[in-house]
Structure 1
Amino acid sequence: MSTFEILMPKMGESVEEATITKWFVSVGDKIEEDDVLLEIATDKVDSEIPSPVTGIVKELLYETDALVPVGKAVAIIELEGSDSAEEEKTEAVEVKDKKKEVAGTQVQASDSSATVASTFEIIMPKMGESVEEATITKWFVSVGDKIEEDDVLLEIATDKVDSEIPSPVAGTVSEILYETDALVPVGKAVAIITMEGAEGTSNATSQPAAVKEVEKSVESASQVSAAAQDFSTSDKFYSPLVKSIAKAEGVSVQELDSIKGTGQNNRVTKVDILDYVKNRNASSPAKSSSKPASSPAASSAPKAKEAIQRPPVSVNAEDEIVEMDRMRKLIADHMVMSKQVSPHVTAVIEVDMTNIVLWRNKSKAAYLDKYGEKITFTPIFFEATARALRDFPGVNASVDGQNIIYRKNVNIGMAVALPSGNLIVPVIKQADHKNLAGLTSDVNRMASLARNNKLSPDDIQGGTFTITNFGSFKNIIGTPIINQPQVAILAVGAIEKKPAVIETPTGDVIGIRHKMFLSLSYDHRIVDGALGGNFLRRIGDYLEQFDIDRAI
């Protein structure tokens, strides 16, 4: 008989296992291609796993709540039309990582009279929850090259990060499907590798019909995530199956956002969208006279698609015209979008940094000797900000339509200027759990990775608040733009010596103090003046109360 193994997919670079939270099928159930089989959860994402084939559920290998390693089979499907008497003709198909990591599909067949070449598809990985496509910026291999496992194949770029993609297998590059600078949807195959020991000659004609049918099913499964490219404007997570149904039924992203989900964390499931389509079709006579109802999220969102009248720009003969590079275009679009989405308000305070400056001056040599790295003012800013975010959780939040999402973790982004003149924001995860030494190590490491273009996708995801340092360029103050979907950003100015009034038990005196401006831009949709002002003042208080005798 012909069977198909459903494997636990790899949901991210650092994810090695996932928990089965729910089975939607039982042994003996007849299933169609794209029916949801199970729901899984990791520390990164929850996801529904669809079936890439039609058949009957023969075996469920793990129970609900089981923690399963990536790559392990979780279920076995008996393919439709198979003969249960032919036990010796079993085809095994592995489907690996259709969502967020480099993946491929390896199809093997065993038969008493034929040997089939084994190939592996290199799939465009998903580099972030909201990333649905990536640009191939460079190929490191050519057709015919022999490669080893972990050899770098290509370099890709998204609006989040640039990344090198290694090969998960050893073999020979048999086909490169996209050229340099091609924009490729997530889930699409970009190259085909002939596995080591496989026959590379005319395997397409020698494969049995059953294997070809399975390959077609696997290909259709890998295309499910690619169909999600039409829904990249939504901040919500939808499974590949839900997106596929929405595309087939003509459900717009606004309509999809309006559906009340019954899945975990209110996610829209297959049943939810099918019920929506059924009810919509039942009321189709009314459609001709009325527009589809939009969700509160959609109605409150800015009309970013509307044409904006830009002033005409004249060009003189001596002027030079230079096209923006890819990253600069993305930054420009993100900044414009943020100003359209959030009503910005900026508050400013002046902070006395004298204790911190004196402590750092006397401790930096000893700190370098003890920890082997330099300490700057940045980790001290992170420490004070993380404490204030715990005190004021309303600033550690995001807006989703008419809902407020209060973030559990305090993940602070650090704006880093790159040698190219562009900007990137690596994230220090769970900053409130780390001491000053830990923050210093993370800040130095992230800054180095950013400037050397070595950041991973995980390094720039999950930020809940951002700090930008204008003082690095000797600027004393600034009004930063919020890094969406966060609701606030802190700008740190240059530290300057200034005359100041100092209160003493015997009266006021004039002294020289180290002063600095802090400015906070916040989203006035959910952060009012009292919350924003008190939060900013709390950061200033923590900095001014810094213990000058603090141990390193």
Structure 2
Amino acid sequence: MDVTMPQMGVSVAEGTVVEWKKQVGDWIEADEIIASISTDKIDTDVESPATGRVAEIIVNVGDTVDVGVVMARIATDARPGEAHASENGDLGTGEAAAAVEAPGAAGELLGDAERDTSQAKRYSPVVMRMAAEHNIDLSQVQGTGRGGRVSKKDVLAFMEGGAEEPPMHIESPYRPDEPAIKRKPKPRLQRVEEVPKSDTVAAPSPSGGSLSRMRQAIGSRMVQSLQTAATCTTIAEADMSRIEVARKAAKMSYLPFQARATIETLLEFPHLNATLEGDQHTVHSEAVHLGIAVSLGEGGLIVPVIRDAQDLSVEGLSKRIKDLAARARTNQLTPDEVSGGTFTITNPGPFGSIMATPVINLPQVGILDTEAVVKRPVVVTDELGNDSIAIRSMTYLCMSWDHRALDGAYAAQFLSALRKKLESWPIT
């Protein structure tokens, strides 16, 4: 049975082995930790996919390999207490044989040297390259990763003199608590009411050149989605005036309110709160595991998941989103927090975009894009049926969905129900 470098996010292309918890000849149970790895987004442990004896370790501590590369092999036909056979059929010698006589001894024999190596090589290639380019002594950089490991973001913070890294941008759900500023209105252009003061979009590199490994990984996942799903996009318009009042009173962004309304609507339309793998359409009718797309700038894209989001209030969702976003920036997310989502929200609205066609996060069947809330004139009808023109805070709800799993009428009904929830939000 192969142990491979796991996928830990849509833009993770490679990982570094930090430590082997087991060595050749050691017995291991299924789901027992066999190694610790590190990526630019997550530091985590790798569990054994099966019960057996470690037959081969292919990737050394400190080596960085692509996602999917075989790191070790487990002999599943072995038995506890049996000596591990070598390739020529003889009983293994040295450390492997010692492991049979005294479990764990092989790990101790091999482990000390490799632990020393892991300490000396705990920096990823990206971090070492940045340190070389900017003449940085990495021993002076405070690490925030597992065991104090220094990440790319730690180096960036060190280069900025210890200042906090700017908030995430583009698809980030995170908005700082400080007051927002208003853009000056321009002729013939709609005015975006709020733009986070410190959220700035990074300019593309002027040098151009080949795509980075991160961009290649994202591209591969996006192309896979477009080639696999029968992607369609449905767009609805919603009056956010009542949400505007409620969020200002609560001193929160739009996103927690939109997320709460989306969760309630998904429970009414569960075929969108679902995954599709092959011909297996798994519908989640009682629980919403909500993914929030988070852009890390040059660090790529990751989708933390709020499990059982239906149990959280607007205030609870706001706190959870901020927590996940903050920990995403410092490589503190766990594997469980980036997997198992049933529906995703992406939120580029704070940067002024008004319409988009998001790419589905497979194997999910739907993704909602929440766009900028813009004041503009609309026709309103009073209780007597009289029409008039008024200024309202409006937004577009853009949802991409998989036509293999549902039809356009279902998607339109979902957005209509979501719009009604937003437009009738209670104001206390």
TM interval, short-chain normalised: 0.5 to 0.7
Counterpart among 497, 501, 505 of residue 379 in structure 2: 501
CA distance in 2, matches of 1:436, 1:467: 15
- Say whether 1:352 aligns with 2:235: no
TM-score normalised to the size of structure 1?
0.46
Summarize the Cα distance change of 1:206–1:321 in structure 2 as closer, same or farther, 3 Å threshold. closer
CA distance in 2, matches of 1:360, 1:501: 24
Larger radius of gyration: 1
CA contact (8 A) 1:125 1:187 kept: no
- Say whether 1:385 aligns with 2:262: yes
CA distance in 1, matches of 2:393, 2:422: 12
Summarize the Cα distance change of 1:127–1:339 in structure 2 as closer, same or farther, 3 Å threshold. closer
- Say whether 1:399 aligns with 2:266: no
Aligned to 2:52: none
Summarize the Cα distance change of 1:479–1:207 in structure 2 as closer, same or farther, 3 Å threshold. closer
CA contact (8 A) 1:134 1:185 kept: no
Summarize the Cα distance change of 1:136–1:359 in structure 2 as closer, same or farther, 3 Å threshold. same
Aligned to 2:293: 415
- Say whether 1:185 aligns with 2:70: yes
- Say whether 1:431 aligns with 2:316: no
CA shift at 1:395, angstroms?
Answer: 0.7
CA distance in 2, matches of 1:448, 1:129: 16
CA contact (8 A) 2:275 2:365 kept: yes
Counterpart among 8, 12, 16 of residue 136 in structure 1: 16
CA shift at 1:388, angstroms?
Answer: 0.8
Give CA deviations for 1:490-536 in whole Å, capped at 9, x if unaligned.
01110000112222245322211100000111000111011111111
Give the letter aligned to residue 536 of structure 1: L
CA distance in 2, matches of 1:483, 1:348: 18
Counterpart among 504, 509, 534 of residue 413 in structure 2: 534
- Say whether 1:157 aligns with 2:10: no
Equivalent runs, 1:35-434 vs 2, <5 Å: 135-136=15-16, 156-157=38-39, 161-163=41-43, 177-183=60-66, 185=70, 187=72, 211-212=99-100, 320-364=207-251, 375-407=252-284, 408-420=286-298, 422-434=300-312
Give the letter aligned to residue 486 of structure 1: Q
CA contact (8 A) 1:409 1:430 kept: yes
Aligned to 1:492: 370
Q: Which runs of 5+ in 1 are unaligned?
A: 1-33, 35-97, 100-123, 140-152, 167-175, 190-203, 220-318, 365-374
CA shift at 1:323, angstroms?
Answer: 3.4
Give the letter aligned to residue 42 of structure 2: D
Give the letter aligned to residue 219 of structure 2: A
CA distance in 2, matches of 1:423, 1:446: 13
Summarize the Cα distance change of 1:540–1:137 in structure 2 as closer, same or farther, 3 Å threshold. farther
CA distance in 2, matches of 1:488, 1:454: 27
CA shift at 1:400, angstroms?
Answer: 2.6
CA shift at 1:447, angstroms?
Answer: 1.2
Give CA deviations for 1:446-476 in whole Å, capped at 9, x if unaligned.
1111123322111111101000112122000
Question: How many residue pairs end up in the alignment?
Answer: 281
Give the letter aligned to residue 413 of structure 1: G
Q: Which has the higher contact order (CA 8 A, sep 6+)?
A: 2
What is the Cα-based RMSD across aligned positions, in Å? 3.7
CA contact (8 A) 1:126 1:187 kept: no
CA distance in 2, matches of 1:478, 1:397: 22
Give CA deviations for 1:162-197 in whole Å, capped at 9, x if unaligned.
31569xxxxxxxxx92443234535569xxxxxxxx
Q: Which runs of 5+ in 2 are unaligned?
A: 20-34, 47-58, 75-91, 108-205
Percent identity for Structure 1 against Structure 2: 33
CA distance in 2, matches of 1:410, 1:401: 21
Q: Which has the higher strand share?
A: 1
Summarize the Cα distance change of 1:514–1:321 in structure 2 as closer, same or farther, 3 Å threshold. closer
